[in-house]
Structure 1
Amino acid sequence: MPFTTIFFDLDDTLYPNSSGVWKLIKERMNLYMHQHLGIDWEEIPTLREQYFHEYGTTLRGLQAHYHMDLDEYLSFVHDIPLHKYLQPDKALQNMLQVLPLRKFIFTNADENHARRVLAALGLENCFQTIVDIKAVDPYCKPMQAAFKIALEIAGEPQPKNCILVDDLATNTRAGREFGFYTILFGQIGEHPDANVSLSHLTDLPDLLQDLKY
């Protein structure tokens, strides 16, 4: 397969879920909804689940139903001391540097958060650019329109030449429907919503070699 381009999700993909970072982000999402939008604590879990299924992210759901400041929200929910939870990942850095594909971040977070995560992991120079939530506005993963914009930003006209690595099955399913080869990260064995699953990112070159990329 003539793969040229690979998109990596950010949170819970470039670093493990066990780091606790995503847990803290979710807690700050809940806090924002309560403090800034006046939503009762009891309603927040149900609303977030509803927004995730209807809009792809909590953010896009809040934007549809509340008057809110995008930059304020993004700054608030990502206000986390990442250096306490993430450390440079030399093995991942080495793998990315030798991977002979054009590499992009494709995230439903914002670029500032993505750059902070990459800096904490020591991966600042491993990607060509970051496709963030603002770049695909008003869309987000798993919307097909978001994948189309990501493709345009990458300058790759053919979805079949692209790979997506993501920890959410909703995103890998949408990516595959769009034409990407999708890898569901953090899973073992076959999965109906991805072409293949992968439990360790450093195993990616071996997986791709089997595909003869």
Structure 2
Amino acid sequence: MVMNAIPPVDLHVSSAGSRPFSHVETWIFDLDNTLYPHTSRVWPQIDERITLYIAELFGLDGLSARSLQKYFYHKYGTTLRALIDEYDIDPYDFLDFAHDIDHADIALNEDLGKAIERLPGRKLILTNGSRKHAENVARKIGILDHFEDVFDIAASNFVPKPDRRAYEIFLEKHAVEPARAAMFEDIAKNLVVPHELGMTTTLIVPPTIDPFREEFEQEAVKTPHIDYITKDLADFLNACLLPSKGR
């Protein structure tokens, strides 16, 4: 089976010298804004809950809490990491609070489910969120049963992506050979280490701008550490499974 076909560039882009998928045995997916579109309104709710958590923790008004949250995010990679390092909070309480959201707008995605099911080999979720959150969301999308396991922020000892240690802990725990793996992510910087380790990397960008996320998080960044860029994950995966002409 040849797995390196890329459909029209309006939806999918490949970089010069992009790594193929023909050798991939393990398929690794981020969760938030990767396995569902921003119209699912998952991330805006989480973002609001984090702001509320900070407001209550420090006795701040909404604007001040929001400003502090973004400062933590840019300095530490995640607000949770900052609160653990600087204030020794209980990370499980934080995660339960942040992920206490309404799942009503998460739609069943049969096309994505079928595409993931057809991928040959192992499938894993690697997320900076919690296992419970990942399972709840993946279940609503209709894809949870296609995954072998969820590697969450607790499994990485609360070290978040893009820290190299998070990926190394993941690879060791699940005995994944990175040179025979593919990683799918919605934030470009989170693909730097996977590419350095030998993974084939794909950046998921939204088909329309998400007003609830920062611009840098949605950029279709064309750099050597990103092999492919797509606006439609299900269509992209199906394209990877189609035989290439002349191959």
- Whether the TM-score (by the shorter chain) exceeds 0.5 is yes
CA distance in 2, matches of 1:29, 1:147: 24
The structure showing larger relative contact order (alpha-carbon pairs under 8 Å, at least 6 residues apart) is: 2
Aligned to 1:164: 183
Q: Distance in 1 between matches of 2:60 and 2:179?
A: 43
Kept in 1, the 8 Å contact 2:130–2:154? The answer is yes
Deviations 1:76-95 (A, max 9, x none): 1111121x111221111111
In structure 2, distance between residues paired with 1:161 and 1:54: 32
Which position in structure 2 is the counterpart of 1:195?
227
Could you tell me how far 1:27 is from its partner in structure 2?
0.4
Alignment of 1:80 onto 2:92: no
Q: Aligned runs of 1:84-99 on 2, under 5 Å?
A: 84-99=104-119
Aligned with residue 182 of structure 1, among 179, 183, 201: 201
Shift of 1:52: 2.5
**1:62-113 deviation digits (Å, cap 9, x = unpaired):** 111113121111111111121x111221111111111113100000000011
Alignment RMSD: 2.1
Q: Which has the larger radius of gyration?
A: 2
CA distance in 2, matches of 1:210, 1:132: 34
1:142 equivalenced with 2:173 (yes/no): no
* Distance change in 2, residues 1:210/1:36 (3 Å): farther
Give the aligned residue type for 2:157: D
Runs (4+) of structure 1 moved beyond 4 Å? 187-190, 208-211
SS at match of 2:183: strand
Give the structure 2 partner of residue 52 of structure 1: 73
Contact 1:10 1:114 in 2 (8 A): yes
1:102 aligned to 2:122? yes
Structure 1 pair 168/122, CA: closer, same or farther in 2 (3 Å)?
same
How many angstroms does 1:32 deviate by? 0.4
Q: Residue 117 of structure 1 aligns with which residue? A: 137
- 1:205 corresponds to 2:238: yes
Q: Which runs of 5+ in 2 are unaligned?
A: 1-21, 208-219
In structure 1, list runs of 5 or more residues that go unmatched.
none
Residues 184, 197 of structure 1: 8 Å contact kept: yes
Asked whether the equivalents of residues 54 and 69 of structure 2 are also in contact (C-alpha less than 8 Å), the reply is no
**Closer, same or farther in 2 for the Cα pair 1:53/1:176, shift >3 Å?**
farther
C-alpha deviation, 1:209, in angstroms: 5.4
Q: Which has the higher helix share?
A: 1
Supply the AA of the counterpart residue of 1:191.
Answer: K
Give the share of equivalent positions with the same residue, in percent.
33
Q: Which amino acid aligns with 2:239?
A: D
TM-score where L is the length of structure 2: 0.78
